[in-house]
């Protein structure tokens, strides 16, 4: 039968959960220790310091975050389909990891924060998706748009809905369940809106 998680793994798992939901400065080493069932000394025994442990967690979070996109972009689907699929993939992924975008965006803005490992973004680049877009609008198959703006369009409409869950619940005075239904519907809205905007040559419905 499978062995239990090692102490090191238990701590890292607990750290991931705590860091992602409370942020680096929103939690203490002792809180992570307690959440993992261990004690403070063990945390530093295995990971040297709170910051080192955080770097590991952040790195992992980034990896998860980027991979869900890379998988889609690496496929051999036609461009329009890739855009559809990446939105679907993001919504699916974020349904199980709703706290990730806020975590990443926030921690990237911390002063002492993450001088980030840009390998992640090179991974996106190396899928050739940007070149594919450039070619597509040179051939008139897609609306011309700067890659930064395209990235913003996709991420805004995928990530923000999950980042703003608590705000939305307050604004519209709705429950978690109701909000989740809205999010499911929102995926389709975003897909249609973005596809229509980016590929306007479609002559009609």
Partner DNA sequence: AACTATTTTAAACAAGTGTTTAAAACGAAT
Partner DNA sequence: ATTCGTTTTAAACACTTGTTTAAAATAGTT
Q: Is 49 left (phi over 0), alpha (psi -120 to 50) or beta?
A: beta
Maximum separation of any 2 CA atoms in the chain, in Å: 66
If binding is defined by CB under 7 A, does position 172 make contact with DNA? no
From CA 81, how far away is CA 77, in angstroms rounded? 6
175 Cα distance to chain centroid: 24
If binding is defined by CB under 7 A, does position 196 make contact with DNA? no
**Residue that has been written with the tokens 């002792």 in this structure:** 30
- The SS3 assignment for 97 reads coil
Binding to a copy of itself (CB under 8 A): which residues in 128-187? 145-149, 151-153, 155-157, 159-161, 163-168, 170-174, 179, 182, 185-186
Residue 44, contacted partner among a copy of itself, DNA, none, CB below 5-8 A by kind = DNA
Residue 170, contacted partner among a copy of itself, DNA, none, CB below 5-8 A by kind = a copy of itself
Residue 136, contacted partner among a copy of itself, DNA, none, CB below 5-8 A by kind = none
How many CB atoms lie under 10 A from the CB of residue 31? 15
106: Cβ contacts below 8 Å, ≥ 6 apart: 23
Report in angstroms how near the CB of residue 99 gets to a copy of itself at its nearest: 8
CA angle 4, 19, 119 (to 5 degrees): 95
121: Cβ contacts below 8 Å, ≥ 6 apart: 66
Residue 152, contacted partner among a copy of itself, DNA, none, CB below 5-8 A by kind = a copy of itself
Residue 50, contacted partner among a copy of itself, DNA, none, CB below 5-8 A by kind = DNA
Q: Which residues bind DNA (CB under 7 A)?
A: 7, 27-31, 38-45, 48-51
Q: Which residues bind a copy of itself (CB under 8 A)?
A: 22-23, 25-26, 102, 104-106, 108-111, 116, 118, 121, 124, 145-149, 151-153, 155-157, 159-161, 163-168, 170-174, 179, 182, 185-186, 189-190, 192-194, 196-197
């Amino acid at each position: 039968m499978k062995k239990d998680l090692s102490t090191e793994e238990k701590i890292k798992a607990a750290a991931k959960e705590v860091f992602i939901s409370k942020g680096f400065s929103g939690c203490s080493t002792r809180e992570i220790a307690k959440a993992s069932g261990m004690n403070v000394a063990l945390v530093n025994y295995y990971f040297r310091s709170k910051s080192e442990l955080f770097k590991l967690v952040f790195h992992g979070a980034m990896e998860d975050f980027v991979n869900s996109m890379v998988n889609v972009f690496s496929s051999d689907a036609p461009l329009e389909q890739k855009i559809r699929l990446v939105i679907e993939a993001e919504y699916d992924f974020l349904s199980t990891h709703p706290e990730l975008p806020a975590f990443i965006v926030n921690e990237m803005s911390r002063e002492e924060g993450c001088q980030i490992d840009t390998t992640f973004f090179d991974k996106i680049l190396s899928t050739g998706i940007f070149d594919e877009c450039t070619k597509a609008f040179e051939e008139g198959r897609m609306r011309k748009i700067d890659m930064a703006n395209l990235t913003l369009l996709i991420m805004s409409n995928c990530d923000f809905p999950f980042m703003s869950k608590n705000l939305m619940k307050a604004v519209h005075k709705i429950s978690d369940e109701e909000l989740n239904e809205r999010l499911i519907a929102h995926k389709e809205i975003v897909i249609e809106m973005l596809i229509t905007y980016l590929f306007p040559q479609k002559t009609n419905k």
